[in-house]
Structure 1
């Protein structure tokens, strides 16, 4: 099985497992990954999601070039491929749950798109990153481009897209493409995911909702955002958290 999902103590882990191809994904793999992401998002027992490789030393090298070579003339295949990749990226981005990418190897092309759709990106020192559609002549999706710009800014996004250069983890950290470097990104991702479970899932979900709205150009308060703020004081768990905070500070 190329894509698998598990739930351990509230952490939903999604694993990519094609080590001989550096986890480069075929169409069927993208579709399976989209399904796994949707399942994790819908699972009430999952409070945080980790996307990573089943095998150490890897993340995702993007789309399988052999798959592209075999099917690129098939219009139906091209449409399915676009929809599957977008379902993965939009599924990660739109989840109300915190999503962490644990990157232990090459994170290139479509793999970089997956990582950019996550909330937190933790990478190994040896990881490499690249946005490389220009090497094949493929158009990078506008949504994926927007995620790149949101992470690194327009100037760095322009550089990465136009040059198709690969960069190392320290450079990725410097420009904001990743958030942390760790010798064991999967273990650190689990630590971060465990810590996130102690926080208000409602607050996290609302924050992610606002961030998505801002990314799409909505920055002013509206009736919905006003209601979310006011009603948060009445939600289950708020008083317990408030009392606990007051006791600690008391």
Structure 2
């Protein structure tokens, strides 16, 4: 039996693959619970510099939580709490990764699948991708953290539209409202994502990880840097990456950064 979710490496790029194409990569409870461990494995690998989250089969990123499991996972208050905590932990594990994450989206990106995409730093989608957050059609509520990320991407009015109506949003509208960062032809998604991931892997990882922390702090409402962020900013000017970067510029060559 094939794994429903797995991790693979392609050079400096780690790929988390949702692998239930016959079910449009709908997320089982076991898949939600597997994601934190996969993220921990990535976090412990110094050679994995960029993370791509994708759905197998090319027809769907993820149709969301597997509703066939709902009678079981929502059977009791205890099972409900455990399942919701597993979903939240999976999304927060993606957010907590200290390296860039790219959701490569084709086809359906719905409900909890959209939550996984929102947890990523970037969302690249195909022209045939479709997005929806349909809890209102089921009598449910979206989680606070996923809702906060949605509002941060599309603004409060558009977030309310998506959450209240549960309507499908086409890729061109998703791009226009800021839900996704780039839309490409279906056959170009893998190449586009790989090229961008390789570019991110080639630049200073010190810069990326410091700026990731800084942007996240600003997004969460910080008005000034923490002492740790201030120290990281100051340390960049005495670091080996900066020395290599400006020497490479002066020597008219590509810099070779050595993250460890």
TM above 0.5: yes
Q: TM-score, normalised by structure 2?
A: 0.91
Asked whether the equivalents of residues 52 and 186 of structure 1 are also in contact (C-alpha less than 8 Å), the reply is no
Mind listing any 5+ residue stretches in structure 1 that lack a counterpart? none
> Partners of 1:19 and 1:44 in 2: how far apart?
31
Which residue of the partner structure matches residue 117 of structure 1? 119
> Partners of 1:154 and 1:141 in 2: how far apart?
15
> Partners of 2:64 and 2:202 in 1: how far apart?
33
> Partners of 1:145 and 1:196 in 2: how far apart?
28
> Partners of 2:202 and 2:235 in 1: how far apart?
21
Matched, 1:150 2:143: no
Which residue of the partner structure matches residue 60 of structure 1? 62
Asked whether the equivalents of residues 25 and 56 of structure 2 are also in contact (C-alpha less than 8 Å), the reply is no
- How well do the aligned residues superpose, as a CA RMSD in angstroms? 1.4
After TM superposition, give the deviation of residue 237 of structure 1 in Å: 2.4
After TM superposition, give the deviation of residue 176 of structure 1 in Å: 0.4
Please give the secondary structure, in 1, of the residue aligned with 2:48.
Answer: coil
Q: TM-score, normalised by structure 1?
A: 0.95
Which residue of the partner structure matches residue 195 of structure 2? 191
Measured against aligned partners, the alpha-carbon deviations of 1:130-169 in whole angstroms (never above 9, x if no partner) come to 1111111112110000110111111211111111111000
Asked whether the equivalents of residues 60 and 111 of structure 1 are also in contact (C-alpha less than 8 Å), the reply is yes
Aligned counterparts, 1:87-126, within 5 A: 87-126=89-128
Which residue of the partner structure matches residue 248 of structure 1? 252
2:240 is matched with which residue: 218, 236, 241?
236
Asked whether the equivalents of residues 62 and 107 of structure 1 are also in contact (C-alpha less than 8 Å), the reply is yes
Aligned counterparts, 1:10-159, within 5 A: 10-159=12-161
> Partners of 1:209 and 1:55 in 2: how far apart?
34
Measured against aligned partners, the alpha-carbon deviations of 1:94-114 in whole angstroms (never above 9, x if no partner) come to 211010010011000000000
Higher mean alpha-carbon deviation, 184-193 vs 145-154, is at 184-193
> Partners of 2:123 and 2:73 in 1: how far apart?
32
Measured against aligned partners, the alpha-carbon deviations of 1:187-229 in whole angstroms (never above 9, x if no partner) come to 2111110011111111111111112212221122332222111
Mind listing any 5+ residue stretches in structure 2 that lack a counterpart? 254-260
After TM superposition, give the deviation of residue 42 of structure 1 in Å: 2.5
